[in-house]
Amino acid sequence: MADVSQIPTDINQVFITLDAAKIGFLFIVGFIGGLVSGFIGSGGAFVLTPGMMSLGVPAAVAVASNMCHKFPKAIVGAYRRLKYGQVDLKLGLVMATTAGIGVLIGIKIQEFIKHTWGEAGSNLYVSVAFFVVLVVVGGYVFMDAQKAKKKALQGGVDAEKEVMAPLAQKLAKINLPPMITFKTAGIRMSFWFIAPVGFLTGLLAATIAVGGFIGVPGMIYVLGASALVSSATELVVAGVMGFTGSIKWAMLGMVDLRLTLIILMGSLFGVQLGAIGTTYVKDYMVKFVMSTIMLIVAVSRLLAIPEYLVALKLMELPADTIKILKTGSFIIMCIALAVGAFIIMSAIIKGMVQERQAKAALAHRA
């Protein structure tokens, strides 16, 4: 994440010249990012910031403009999914409050690392954190999605309905006041178990800009919400955090409204389609898409690590190799988003076709 010390003070350094190709690129990435966000509750941000930087946008402006497009997109997505009965507003607001504290501490940790080990140290910390979280959480979610898919295909008892995670079942039994009931999520949990999940979501958001990679699995496996409710509720958390972040960046004059609106033009199409898509898929599909994206992004982050190790003089590599690794890292990130979008679109089309066939069969019988 860019910090205050990286902020350009000359207006000519802040705003880039836009042409048709750049506008087209931002629109497409915005659409795909929105589609993934609407479906799994997060994502898109990890490609948009480096994507904008590759167009020559300064880091601070890329982060600010990304943040400013994120909050209305998340709010629109949350509103749509609220209508489908998937959002637990109370859980989202409690999570967002504790996530806010996580963001503040995450920024402090970042500042400390940067002060001690410099820019390369900070980047290394971000990449390693990214890689570890993505492999551990993504791997676990992927295995769980496979199990749930198998169960659903076997058509066992309650195959359509997700069973509460074992850890969540144990935590729900502990009566540690204040206990909070969440109607939509269908859970009753102590605030003291929700707070760490929210806190870690914020901490990760401040570190890698995608808090949802902790927030959604946290709500599923620690709090016991379903994948659909968790991904929808994460949009509330993203909306609240994005709004407060946008105010901060707007006060620093770093929001490029042109970039924000172009991305928003694409992402508002995407986020609504993603939200519609959730009504056609089974619960495990959200986990499957999320974990697939997480694991592909982990590979991308792994390729970025050698560059920072070289900068810290912990490793030696030719400049050409670093350049290839860097380009490869960005391309794999784009692939992650594209794969996610492809799975979502396929699921939506398949679901819609099946729904229409079922309706036609019903009408034919009548």
Partner 1 sequence: MMQSIQADMAAIAFAEAGEHETARQIMQESTKKTAPAPAAHKPSLVTIIFQGILSLGFIWAVLKYQNIINELDFKGQSGGLYFLFPLVMVAIYTYIHANFAHGLYDYFGITAKKK
Binding range to partner 1, per CB under 8 A, among 104-112, 230-238, 249-257, 336-344: 249-257
Binders of partner 1 in range 33-72 (CB under 8 A): 68-69, 72
- From the list 174, 360, 186, 195, the residue with the least C-alpha distance to 283 is 186
Contact 225, 91 (CB under 8 A): yes
Select from 91-99, 110-118, 255-263, 303-311 the region that touches partner 1 (CB under 8 A). Answer: 255-263
> Segment near partner 1 (CB under 8 A), from 135-143, 195-203, 208-216, 257-265?
257-265
Instruction: Calculate ∠ Cα 29-34-35, nearest 5°.
Output: 100
Which part of the chain contacts partner 1 (CB under 8 A), choosing from 73-81, 106-114, 169-177, 324-332? 73-81
**Contact status, residue 194 vs residue 91, Cβ threshold 8 Å:** yes
| Beta carbon nearer to partner 1, 99 or 262 | 262
Rounded CA Rg of the chain: 21
Asked whether position 246 contacts partner 1 by CB under 8 A, the answer is yes
Q: Which is nearer to partner 1, 84 or 192 (CB)?
A: 84
Residue 252 engages partner 1 in binding (rule: CB under 8 A): yes
**What is residue 366's DSSP assignment?**
-
| CA 241, 226, 296, 25 torsion-angle sign | negative
Interface residue with partner 1 among 205, 223, 262, 337 (CB under 8 A) is 262
Binding to partner 1 (CB under 8 A): which residues in 290-329?
A: none
Helix axes 257-278, 227-251, angle to 10 degrees: 170
| CB-based burial label for 47 (10 Å; 0-12, 13-18, 19+) | buried
- Our finding on whether 228 is near partner 1 (CB under 8 A) is no
250 lies in the site for partner 1, by CB under 8 A: yes
3-state class (DSSP) for residue 179: strand
Amino acid at 180: I
Q: Please, what is the minimum distance in Å from the beta carbon of residue 173 to partner 1? A: 31
Helix %, strand %, coil % for the chain, to 5? 80, 0, 20
**Between 51 and 351, CB nearer to partner 1:** 351
Q: Is residue 76 at the binding interface for partner 1, with CB under 8 A as the rule?
A: yes
Q: Is 244 in the site for partner 1 (CB under 8 A)?
A: no
- Binding partner 1 (rule: CB under 8 A), the pick from 165, 264, 286, 341 is 264
DSSP type of residue 175: -
Closer by beta carbon to partner 1, 19 or else 316: 19
Task: Using CB under 8 A, pick the residue from 230, 260, 292, 329 that binds partner 1.
Answer: 260
Give the residue from 326, 117, 312, 136 showing the smallest Cα distance to 221.
Answer: 136
Instruction: Read off the amino acid at residue 342.
Output: F
| DSSP string for 205-255 | HHHHS-THHHHHHHIIIII---HHHHHHHHHHHHHHHHHHHHHHHHHTT--
- C-alpha 342/C-alpha 328 separation (Å) is 20
Query: Closest distance between partner 1 and the C-beta of residue 333, in Å?
Result: 25
Residue 64 or 200 having the CB closest to partner 1 = 64
By beta-carbon proximity to partner 1, the closer residue of 81 and 301 is 81
Kindly tell me which residue out of 276, 295, 309, 322 binds partner 1, with binding defined by CB under 8 A. Answer: 276
User: Using the rule CB under 8 A, which residue among 120, 269, 311, 330 binds partner 1?
Assistant: 269
Least distance (Å) from partner 1 to the CB of residue 258?
Answer: 6
Number of Cβ within a 10 Å radius of residue 89: 15
Interface segment toward partner 1; rule CB under 8 A; list 49-57, 106-114, 190-198, 248-256:
248-256
Q: Enumerate helices (H) and strands (E) in the chain, giving the number of each.
A: 12, 2
**Which positions touch partner 1 (CB under 8 A)?**
11, 14-15, 18, 68-69, 72-73, 75-76, 80, 83-84, 246-247, 250-258, 260-262, 264-265, 268-269, 272-273, 275-276, 279-280, 351-352, 355
